[in-house]
Chain A
């Protein structure tokens, strides 16, 4: 990777240099003050960099080489589903009929786009086992907020106002954050010795006030990579209390074509198209977080909703944006959602089909269990025991507690040393209930050889640490920069280039 000292584009700027040439105005060019009152005009243009095109290209190419990426190597980041991003999907998303379609285009001139959205809705509905889908939320956490607002609307429509949302202590941080944003109180539910919801604690938390329970948010399989065997009973308890059951779809990659959240009793599911459905992650987005819901939640779905209307006079069906939704929670964002993401994910669903999706999940589970088995051998088996010793689904969690105790090596050190071996580390220090946690999700698109190489690297790092733990504690060595002072960046934040 590129190791020169970092220089920003602003530091490469010199007055007078430029890249853009613009078309001539072709129209009269009076002074601007004659067109807009002077007090509404800017005194000086913003200090954007002044750089010619060749140097802009070099600058960003160099920067790109200071990034690790999925196309370059194994990326076993738990709960993030870093599966291959097919280039076909980029090609079809870039077709002018998609890329240059204005979002306010009259539906009759956007039939292809609306049909694509409707087809994606139908596909996700089938995969989730729930009858209705809104594509509008922009990411998983946006879907969570949508689900909680739907829950509020559902109860309000019945004259109820409930205050509490339950979620296990293993839940993603977005869950409790969404709960607060939606105006509810977050209540934690404990985890049992098999890694599932502690049923006695769940009963107790419900028992404190069943009429106050708005919702239970659950990830299944959960962030430990374990399927909660009690899901039917959990659903029964929540529904009996009058609450809704929300499925955080971050881990849907374990169960596509194998099991469906709707059949498990969930009312609302969000789907991360940037995880299970191959949208590239872009270094932190874009994504999309469509939601699938049960019949009783449907009236409250965000507007607009994409609908298929029967054609008249022998015409084919007409696809439309339905704005007349009197009980709708309203909009969650502008226009219709992240359509470019929908195109890629629909292309992915078409590519794999029913069998391919089921096989993707099956292989994801096979790969995870194989890597778990490999890491149960040798030094890893001793120093990095699996947190819950049973078959996992698409991911699993190890604990670095013995490694820390016996070798003085923290999970963070192991993660940083993996960088020198060319691997992206697993998710670390999450879920919170596992000490020194490493959460590993290989996905179905990795080869057995990649998994073996990763297991071998862990073994070598642990062997190296037995001789000299100092090596890993100072790692990494080969990256564009070494360990960074994150405390300084928060205490005295420098968040822009002084100009």
Chain B
């Protein structure tokens, strides 16, 4: 017996007798003999619980996480504080261990959470229709492409270079399958180049994809940029950061047909990139083309209020090859974490958090731009993240900051060759003024040293990096 099975030798004997076979080997005879493994898998033997814990703790200890380093890295996922009640509620067996709510009578808890979540996401984005969540951000962008093709019968996407690089690449991966073309429009002064966008959109365009705040942190003028899409009958798809929507104008009030994004900042930990969730909201016109689960309100036979999976005729388990999407298992528990986090923040807390992020971001931007050898990459308005140019090799500056316990930001050169000198810095409510000031000091010292201005670098006292 493993520690997760219960069949004793006596149980086995009784069960085999009831089946009418002498051994389990007889049950496996339906597997043709040459295909039956004749030796154990080449894997280690099972370990005790304590040993597994130690083994995985040892692996975890070889990562430098946001408890060891002050984290100014964002680029789509952010080191926010997750309130204690999120963990307490999400770890309850009743939420952690059920399957998808195919039996609504005994799944009212999960279904109602979906309904509350959909309500919240509609409020945040300003669009009336929300699903219960998709896998994560970039694949949600690709899913919007699939919807736009079905809605417009066109096969061309115009994409801002301000859209997250992972989203652009994922959209292209999917587009090869469903046969669409992706055309990219560049940035100017940190924002999507409006003239180039207008020129790129035509009568064959299914959708225009923007992100605001965009990957460089700039708050885009979505409404103005969206005019080109409206003129040509293309859908306007806007990726956004949910932590900014307490203060920024929601996409739905700026003409977006679809608003979506990475949900991690709401109630989900960093987890080296997942699991998190994607949110996906749209106008009423798109309700029957939506991907993913949607919970709806109804009554039971006694007239009692209840919730079910609504509009299932869109889904793969009913429509098979005619489904609006192939998604089945998504991210229900992660969406629940988001809902609890939003309830905890509440209307005022959510707005205050948005304001706090803007003010600290503006402070940090000014503070860092004043450091010699550091300047702004763009001057567009920002809400929680901003881009700098360094007059020194970015990787070496990052390394020096890391040695002082600071993850100073995301090197833009990883995804944007034109910004080889670029650094993207993200702010959360966990990043205090003191930490921002420390970053300014560390960045200044690192840039100066790399420029050969300091004969002695204080970081050289502790040359032992990690790795």
Contact = CB atoms under 8 A, between A and B. Distances in A.
B153 interface: no
A107 B41 CA distance: 30
Nearest to B315: A173
A102 B71 CA distance: 8
Contact of B248 (A10, A36, A139, A419): A36
Contact of A419 (B2, B105, B246, B398): B105
B57 A95 contact: yes
Given A45-B348, A102-B272, A496 B328 contact: no
Nearest to A194: B30
B92 A64 contact: yes
A405 B79 CA distance: 59
Contacts of A153: 176
B4 A355 contact: no
A499 B307 CA distance: 18
B120 interface: yes
25 contacts: A27-B433, A40-B219, A45-B350, A46-B347, A56-B343, A60-B113, A63-B112, A65-B109, A66-B112, A70-B99, A113-B272, A186-B321, A226-B30, A231-B32, A232-B32, A257-B41, A259-B31, A285-B332, A338-B275, A340-B272, A350-B55, A353-B45, A448-B14, A486-B298, A489-B309
Contacts of B345: 19-20, 48
Given A39-B249, A259-B35, A67 B107 contact: yes
A158 interface: no
B299 A485 contact: yes
Contacts of A110: 63-64, 272
Interface string B61-102: 111111101010101110100010101110111111111111
Contacts of A454: none
Interface in A258-298: 258-260, 263-264, 272, 274, 278, 280-288
Given A116-B59, A283-B99, A338-B274, A46 B245 contact: yes
A288 to B, nearest CB: 8
B155 to A, nearest CB: 11
Contact of A183 (B177, B339, B432): B177
A227 B33 CA distance: 12
A226 B351 CA distance: 56
Contacts of B51: 350
B359 A28 contact: yes
A133 to B, nearest CB: 14
Given A70-B99, A173-B319, A424-B99, 5 more contacts: A42-B245, A61-B92, A330-B170, A330-B176, A424-B103
B97 A71 contact: yes
A350 B46 CA distance: 6
B11 interface: yes
Contacts of B398: 106
B90 to A, nearest CB: 8
Contacts of A489: 296-298, 308-311
Given A92-B53, A356-B46, A101 B347 contact: no
Contact of B5 (A148, A283, A425, A445): A445
- The interface size bin for chain A is 35 or more
Contacts of B1: 359
Highest count of chain B CB atoms <10 Å: which of A331, A333, A334, A444: A334
Given A8-B115, A338-B274, A353-B44, A20 B83 contact: yes
A336 to B, nearest CB: 5
A463 interface: no
Closest 5 CB pairs of A and B: A97-B60, A282-B333, A335-B273, A103-B273, A112-B62
A50 B358 contact: no
A138 B312 CA distance: 21
Given A36-B383, A48-B345, A480 B108 contact: yes
A415 to B, nearest CB: 7
Nearest to A318: B467
B177 A148 contact: yes
B198 interface: no
Nearest to B269: A99
Given A123-B43, A148-B177, A495-B129, A285 B329 contact: yes
Interface in B309-341: 309-313, 315-323, 325-334, 336, 339-340
Interface stretch (A76-84, A205-213, A237-245, A464-472): A76-84
A285 B333 contact: yes
A98 B63 contact: yes
Contacts of A57: 85, 88-89
B272 A65 contact: no
Contact of B331 (A37, A39, A286, A365): A286
B19 A373 contact: yes
Interface string B20-62: 1100101111111011110011111111010111011111111
Interface residues of B, number: 210
B461 interface: no
Nearest to A176: B321
Interface string A104-129: 11101111110110000001001100
A313 interface: no
Contacts of B15: 366-367, 369-370, 448
A251 interface: no
Most chain B CB neighbours (cut-off 10 Å) among A47, A60, A444, A499:
A60
Contacts of A88: 49, 52-53
Interface stretch (B161-169, B227-235, B441-449, B452-460): B161-169
A281 B99 contact: yes
A35 B359 contact: yes
Given A92-B52, A100-B270, A287 B329 contact: yes
A363 B16 CA distance: 11
A400 interface: no
Given A100-B67, A334-B138, A496 B249 contact: no
A153 B176 CA distance: 9
B289 interface: no
A67 B95 contact: yes
A264 to B, nearest CB: 6
A434 interface: no
A406 interface: no
Contacts of B248: 36, 40-42
Contacts of B466: 108-109
| Most chain A beta carbons < 10 A, residue from B27, B108, B300 | B108
A302 B296 contact: no
B4 A481 contact: no
Given A68-B107, A70-B97, A358-B40, A6 B73 contact: no
A51 interface: yes
B407 to A, nearest CB: 7
B99 A80 contact: yes
A61 B89 contact: yes
B279 to A, nearest CB: 13
B15 to A, nearest CB: 4
A402 to B, nearest CB: 22
Contact of B246 (A45, A105, A183): A45
A349 B100 contact: no
A347 interface: yes
A186 B176 contact: no
A192 interface: no
A128 B126 CA distance: 46
B27 A365 contact: yes
A380 to B, nearest CB: 14
Contact of B311 (A92, A363, A493): A493
B312 to A, nearest CB: 7
B416 interface: no
Nearest to A264: B35
Nearest to A117: B272
Given A48-B123, A98-B271, A333-B166, A484 B7 contact: no
Nearest to A221: B30
A201 interface: no
A9 interface: yes
Interface string B253-283: 1000000001000000111111101000000
B152 to A, nearest CB: 17
